[in-house]
């Protein structure tokens, strides 16, 4: 098939899922056209079936906010026409689903039918999309899509509860490339970070408020009174400066490293003993799945779709959002030398259930179904 993928090119989860999906489809012989405003972070290889079309937004002094959505629709029209696309698959509803609707209408006037599939990722529904500034457009454009998928059962439920959506929503969970995400031997790195054999806790995110990283600092402060631990924090975002200050004020900063944005996260995951995800909202928790694939158990909140990934008492533990004391107790349990290998093995086994080779055919099947119906 000739598939157009529209996504955010950034480090965020939806962009990563879209890019990895496109790469896997290309390897399977489909021609994949990425349409976005800059080269997706993980689109770092050459493949004869992968094409990248940059959306250019002309500036003009009148525009306080450059109209990205219009430029995106125009680019979609151009790519669909010139490359004979069979379908457009947009990731994250805002503004991609409504931009695709506009492109579809324009193409219809030119006698071209293009099915649109929208994949809902999380905050497009649970946070941003609910805002009255966006809600009518989000509801309309989801209903106007030819096919809709959500990355978890929880997100599917939230969508029906919070929007007047009548479309059938297919749940296709996120996936993992087990060739890339596997535990590597990185003893020298582990020695450098934890020379006394300290256990290593890890968190990766975009450092937004919704991630509740302050709970990690609080649970870490409790835990380090009981055992020798280090905390690594990967990523960057609006909360980082405040968290660094908080760590200094709590007197725990000597055991914490803020590593900033990193690409080769599987290398850091390879030396981690525990992954922490205390989010207030999380439709799936891709970072937790990446950790599990590298044999790292997960201490998490019970937000959204996380319990569909992290299994209580098996691959880690789940606590109520905000209950950092419970998270600290659970972490201390998992990190015991006789427990850790068992949790590690369960984490890997669970991650294998989300192998990209199992999930990719579900997208291909869905594509065929939607194209046949259109």
Footprint of ligand GMT (CB under 6 A) = 12-15, 17, 92, 121-123, 126, 151, 174, 206, 208, 210, 281-286
In order of 17, 33, 202, 323, 362, the CA distances from 226 in angstroms are 38, 52, 18, 18, 46
Q: Cβ of residue 280: shortest distance to ligand GMT, in angstroms?
A: 8
Structure token pair of residue 329: 């107790």
**How far apart are alpha carbons 208 and 128 in whole angstroms?**
13
Closer CB to ligand GMT, 216 or 223, in the complex: 216
Dist. CA 344–CA 248, nearest whole Å: 32
Query: Which C-beta is closer to ligand GMT: that of 37 or that of 333?
Result: 37
> Cβ of residue 185: shortest distance to ligand GMT, in angstroms?
28
Calpha distance 133→92 (Å, rounded): 16
* Closest-CA residue to 7 (of 120, 142, 111): 120
- Name beta bridge partners: 274: 201
Hey, is 195 helix, strand or coil?
coil
Q: CB nearest ligand GMT: which residue?
A: 122
Which CB sits closer to ligand GMT, 286 or 371? 286
Number of other residues whose CB lies within 10 A of the CB of residue 316: 29
Residue 151 or 247 having the CB closest to ligand GMT: 151
Q: How far is the CB of 226 from ligand GMT (least distance, A)?
A: 30
**182 CB-near residues (< 8 Å, 6+ apart):** 266, 293, 294
Residue written as token pair 């290998």: 341
Q: What's the closest the beta carbon of residue 251 comes to ligand GMT, in angstroms?
A: 30
Kindly state the smallest distance separating residue 361's Cβ from ligand GMT, in Å. Answer: 19
Give SS3 for 225: coil
Task: Please identify, using beta-carbon distances, which residue of 279 and 319 lies nearer to ligand GMT.
Answer: 279
Residue 199 vs 208, nearer CB to ligand GMT: 208
Q: What angle do CA 184, 189, 195 make, to 5 degrees?
A: 130
Nearer to ligand GMT, 11 or 220 (CB): 11
Minimum distance of ligand GMT from residue 82's CB (angstroms): 29
The least CB distance from residue 331 to ligand GMT, in Å, is 21
């Amino acid at each position: 098939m000739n598939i157009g993928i529209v996504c955010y090119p950034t480090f965020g989860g939806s962009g990563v899922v879209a890019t990895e999906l496109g790469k896997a489809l290309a390897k399977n012989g489909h021609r994949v056209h990425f349409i976005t405003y800059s080269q997706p972070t993980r689109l770092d290889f050459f493949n004869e079936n992968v094409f990248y079309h940059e959306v250019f937004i002309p500036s003009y002094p009148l525009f306080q906010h450059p109209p990205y959505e219009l430029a995106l629709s125009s680019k979609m029209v151009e790519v669909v026409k010139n490359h004979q696309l069979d379908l457009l698959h947009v990731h994250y509803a805002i503004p991609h689903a409504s931009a695709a609707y506009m492109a579809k209408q324009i193409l219809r006037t030119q006698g071209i039918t293009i099915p649109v599939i929208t994949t809902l990722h999380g905050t497009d529904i649970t946070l941003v999309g609910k805002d009255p500034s966006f809600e009518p457009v989000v509801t309309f454009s989801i209903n106007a899509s030819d096919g809709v998928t959500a990355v978890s059962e929880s997100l599917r439920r939230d969508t029906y509860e919070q929007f007047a959506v009548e479309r059938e929503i297919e749940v296709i969970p996120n996936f993992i490339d087990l060739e890339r995400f596997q535990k590597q031997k990185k003893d020298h790195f582990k020695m450098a970070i934890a020379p006394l054999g300290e256990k290593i806790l890890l968190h990766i995110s975009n450092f937004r408020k919704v991630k509740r990283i302050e709970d990690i600092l609080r649970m870490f402060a409790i835990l380090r009174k009981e055992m020798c631990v280090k905390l690594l924090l990967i990523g960057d975002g609006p909360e980082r400066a405040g968290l660094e200050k908080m760590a200094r004020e709590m007197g725990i900063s000597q055991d914490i490293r803020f590593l900033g944005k990193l690409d080769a996260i599987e290398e850091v995951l390879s030396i981690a003993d525990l992954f922490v995800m205390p989010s207030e909202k999380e439709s799936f928790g891709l970072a937790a799945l990446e950790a599990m694939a590298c044999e790292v158990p997960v201490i998490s909140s019970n937000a959204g779709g996380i319990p569909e990934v992290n299994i209580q008492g098996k691959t880690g533990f789940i606590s109520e959002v905000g209950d950092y004391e419970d998270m600290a107790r659970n972490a201390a349990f998992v990190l015991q030398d006789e427990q850790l290998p068992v949790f590690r093995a369960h984490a890997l086994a669970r991650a294998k259930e989300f192998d990209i080779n199992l999930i990719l055919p579900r997208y291909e099947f869905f594509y065929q179904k939607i194209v046949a119906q259109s």
